[in-house]
Structure 1
């Protein structure tokens, strides 16, 4: 099943995607929302971020090759950081480059969408609590990150968390391909099989620290090949089995 959030006629709704059409849901899909009303062509609606998280939890250096390309060692435990919910934008949303940074990078990632409250969970329990999977771009002001040796400002700017286009519930997160293209040129391509910590163990680890709520996003790390984006670029993040998230840079 593929779910989404969309706007039509000034109204925002949760939806279920059926081929090239979408039908509205009575509530969030992870809350058991049921399809109602007519089907609309996807071309008639504007897709929004397919989740409205209270928080976005991310992990750094979860692919060995990415850690190496930035001159870092792989952490002994997951290196966690947060993105604010105000950073989230949907498909087609503009990534706005801040004046404070001269080196902003793309980071293509697979993200888990939490389906039910998760706290102090095992990996098996975390697996059952995941509603589905989506594409995420962990946009990063690399020069700010390098100068501060900290992630909050570098990764927390408004619009620095594109998400979408849909949530796919039927996906094997242990065998997916994550790709990033800028203006059609491939920059990143990696397999989730190369993760240091798999998504289920990652969510279990996070749940020992903070409670994950329905709709929260957990980004699982980026493969090697991160690089700069500039005004006028179009960035595409693709995860096999989900689709393509495309955003302009302004």
Structure 2
């Protein structure tokens, strides 16, 4: 099942995306007299697990002939497909060819860092390029969305704790990221984690370790790989993280990017993202995430440089 979040009356609503269009879950529940028995936002769907998904499938089946409940996806303003992740955990240098292109050693353990809620953005959002960076790079990544609490789980059981998967562009300001040994600053600028367009349930995705993944910038292919090139696979990642912290429903894990980023080019060939650039992240079965880069607005009067 493909779940989607969209804006309705200045609030975020839950939809089910099908070949027919996007089913407005709240409107369909009201039409069928099912208010109170269905999840009405993405986190309620995640926390509701199998029973919530079963109810949503049934709702969509019985709403087939009710045309007014269906929306054209292109007419909707989408929200992030996971709107409020409790944790945003990222895995660095997790594709073998990406590690090689950046002359980094192959890691023995997953390299983990985090991002924050300010980075979350949606399909179609404009992404402001920070005034303090001249080297913003794209990174196509597969996102694992946790569906069941996980603590000390083994690899064999790890994917049973996954609700689904989505696309992300793990935008990275390289000049900020590499300014110090800690990567956080270059990864956590506003809207640096657009998520979407769909949250696709794990049963529909199947094996997450054999999905084609790509990036285009203004239509030019920059990244083209497969999640099979991951050093640490999805089951390993979930199991490893769960040994150190409790994973909760709605937490997300960004699993790393393949080769083809700007940073991997020789310095004289690097052209980082500019205002007006359109970046598209595509992953098999998960759709295409599209965002346009824009110049960050001028700061409010009275703002100062941190050194001032």
Query: Normalization by structure 2: what TM-score?
Result: 0.78
More helix by share: 2
Secondary structure of residue in 1 paired with 2:118: helix
Structure 2 partner of 1:168: 200
1:247 to 285, 291, 303: 291
Task: Mark the runs of 5 or more structure 1 residues left unpaired by the alignment.
Answer: none
- 1:193 counterpart = 2:225: no
* 1:48 has 2:48 as partner: no
| Structure 1 residues 131-150: aligned runs within 5 Å | 131-150=163-182
SS in structure 1 opposite 2:78?
strand
**Runs of 4+ off more than 3 Å:** 33-37
- Aligned match of 1:15: 15
Picking from 25, 29, 47, the partner of 2:45 is 29
- The 5 A counterparts of 1:72-221 are 72-169=104-201, 170-171=204-205, 172-221=207-256
- The secondary structure found in structure 1 opposite 2:141 is strand
Distance 1:127 1:240 in 2: 18
Following superposition, the deviation at residue 29 of structure 1 comes to 2.3
| TM-superposed deviation, 1:207 | 0.9
Tell me, in whole angstroms, the C-alpha distance in 1 between the residues paired with 2:70 and 2:125: 24
1:58 paired residue among 70, 74, 90: 90
CA distance in 2: counterparts of 1:180 and 1:56, whole angstroms? 21
1:47-97 deviation digits (Å, cap 9, x = unpaired): 111112112111011111111211211111000011102201010112111
Q: How many residues in Structure 1 have an aligned counterpart in Structure 2?
A: 250
Higher RCO, 1 vs 2 (CA within 8 Å, ≥6 residues apart): 1
Contact 1:20 1:42 in 2 (8 A): no
With structure 1 as the length reference, what TM-score do the two structures score?
0.95
Q: Using the alignment, how far apart are the partners of 2:106 and 2:188 within structure 1?
A: 23
Aligned mates of 2:76, 2:133 — CA distance in 1: 34
Q: Tell me which moved more, 43-52 or 125-134.
A: 43-52
Q: Post-superposition shift, 1:40?
A: 2.1
The alpha carbon displacement at 1:20 in A equals: 4.2
Sort the Cα spacing of 1:118 and 1:232 in 2 relative to 1 into closer, same or farther, 3 A.
Answer: same
Deviation at 1:219, TM superposition (A): 0.9
Q: Deviations over 1:98-127 (max 9, x none)?
A: 111110100001111111111121122220
CA-atom RMSD, angstroms? 1.5
Q: Is the 8 A contact 1:48 1:89 kept in 2?
A: yes
Distance (whole Å) between structure 2 residues aligned to residue 15 and residue 213 of structure 1: 23
SS in 2 for 1:67: helix
- More off after superposition, 26-35 vs 140-149: 26-35
Query: How many Å separate the matches in 2 of 1:71 and 1:55?
Result: 29
CA contact (8 A) 1:230 1:249 kept: yes
